[in-house]
Amino acid sequence: MQNTEIENKQKIDFLAIGDIVTDAFIKLQDAETYCDLDKEGCKLCMRFGDKVPYESVTVCHAVGNSANASVAAAKLGLHSSLLAVVGNDAEGQVCLETLKNNKVDTTYINTDLNLPTNYHYVLWYGTDRTILIKHAEYARSMPNNLPEIGWVYLSSLGQNTESFHHEIAQYVASHPETKLAFQPGTFQMSLGTEKLKALYENTEIFFCNKQEAEKILNQKENLPNTGIADIKNLIQKLHELGPKKVVMTDGINGLYASDGQNIYSLPMYPDIAPPVERTGAGDATSSTIVSAMAIGKTFEEALLYGPINGMNVVQHIGAQAGLLPLSKIEDYLQNAPAEYKLTKI
């Protein structure tokens, strides 16, 4: 592992931690989807043992949950940095340059001399996608000489990172000036809440969707939906894990959020046009809420900012092309329809 010498001691407003990937979006034209009656459990189907034509390929560099979040924060005017690893290859160099061009501080991105940069294949059909993923098992640790940090934003990491999660939790616990936002990825959810107990207990704000909440809490799938009572139950149980604030998205129903005292609902911001594809909408929503809080917005105010960025991201291919600057989000907010408001439930 090649370590970078840290010289810049300027305060970091937003430090994202997670994996960097390159996504190759393969737009399919000869496929079908099969779903359950409730439109859940959908499967993407193509002919097996045949040559299947595709429409186009679009390559997006320096993406992934945390990389997307770091770019969103930088576009909103924060000193945004990313703690991650790339390979010593052409893809790694392109990822670094892409982040720099997006005003993200790459000081804390190390280069692994032996393992390749993560490269994922996105099977894009209609407005949704299935992603073929493989995360390199890089060595990781928290740097010893970090400057003051306002927010740590933790999301998807690979499978060899359990001890690294404990380091992050210990760092946040010993730095009360630093707040933690946690948006778990697949591996983090599979670890279970007990192994990440210290991380949950030191989380200021937690993000997931409704299906992920059920998985994290080991709720049985396909139970009858009891509406708002079900939402309140999930949020309360997430709070019991330790997070002070919880934001849970629920598809076309928008999001639900709790500060531990009040639970709010917020509808989706209306689409300005039919979505192109949905990659990164959740990252944009979550990271924008945290970024808005980092610039001094209250929790309730920040909640209104997130879905606007998510709405615009789905108008583009990939997770970053549609990310908005602060002024544009505030324009959309000023012109929001009357129904776009927080409601206590």
Q: Is there a domain that residue 244 lies in?
A: yes
Cβ–Cβ under 8 Å, residues 214 and 238: no
What is the reported pLDDT for 38? 67
Local confidence pLDDT in tens for the 345 residues of the chain: 544 334 446 899 999 999 999 999 999 988 998 888 766 778 999 999 999 999 999 999 999 999 999 999 999 999 999 999 999 999 999 999 999 999 999 999 999 999 999 999 999 998 788 989 889 999 999 999 899 999 999 999 988 999 999 999 999 999 999 999 999 999 999 999 999 999 999 999 999 999 999 999 998 654 455 588 899 999 999 999 999 999 999 988 999 999 999 999 999 999 999 999 888 899 999 999 999 999 999 999 999 999 999 999 999 988 999 999 999 999 999 999 999 999 999
Sign of CA dihedral 206, 209, 213, 216: negative
Q: Provide the pairing of β-strand 179-182 with 149-154.
A: parallel
Residue with tokens 């059920």, as numbered in its chain: 214
Q: How many domains does the chain have?
A: 1
User: At 185, which amino acid appears?
Assistant: G
Radius of gyration of the chain from its Cα atoms, rounded to whole angstroms = 20
Q: Is there a domain that residue 111 lies in?
A: yes
Rounded to whole angstroms, the Cα distance separating 17 from 151 reads: 11
Q: Is there a domain that residue 126 lies in?
A: no
Read off the pTM.
Answer: 0.91
Helix (H, G, I), strand (E, B) or coil at 231: helix
Rounded to whole angstroms, the Cα distance separating 118 from 122 reads: 13
Q: Is there a domain that residue 41 lies in?
A: no
Rounded to whole angstroms, the Cα distance separating 126 from 62 reads: 24
Rounded to whole angstroms, the Cα distance separating 204 from 333 reads: 25
Q: Is there a domain that residue 136 lies in?
A: no
User: Phi-psi category of 225—alpha, beta or left, where left has phi over 0 and alpha has psi -120 to 50?
Assistant: beta
Q: Is there a domain that residue 300 lies in?
A: yes
Residue with tokens 């409601």, as numbered in its chain: 343
Burial class, 337, CB count within 10 angstroms (exposed 0-12 / middle 13-18 / buried 19+): exposed
Q: Is there a domain that residue 234 lies in?
A: yes
Residue with tokens 């192994």, as numbered in its chain: 195
**What residues pair up with 122 in beta bridges, in sequence order?**
25, 131
**What residues pair up with 128 in beta bridges, in sequence order?**
125
Q: Is there a domain that residue 198 lies in?
A: yes
Q: For residue 189, give the nearest of 222, 164, 211 by alpha carbon.
A: 211
Q: For residue 111, what are its two tokens?
A: 């280069």
Rounded to whole angstroms, the Cα distance separating 215 from 190 reads: 9
Residue 156 C-beta-side C-alpha neighbours within 13 Å: 21
End-to-end alpha-carbon separation of the chain, Å? 50
**What residues pair up with 265 in beta bridges, in sequence order?**
256, 343
Torsion of CA 177, 64, 100, 175, to 10 degrees: 10
CATH number of the domain residue 227 falls in: 3.40.1190.20
Containing structural domain, residue 296: 12-19+65-115+143-344
Cβ–Cβ under 8 Å, residues 115 and 136: yes
Report DSSP state, residue 271: P
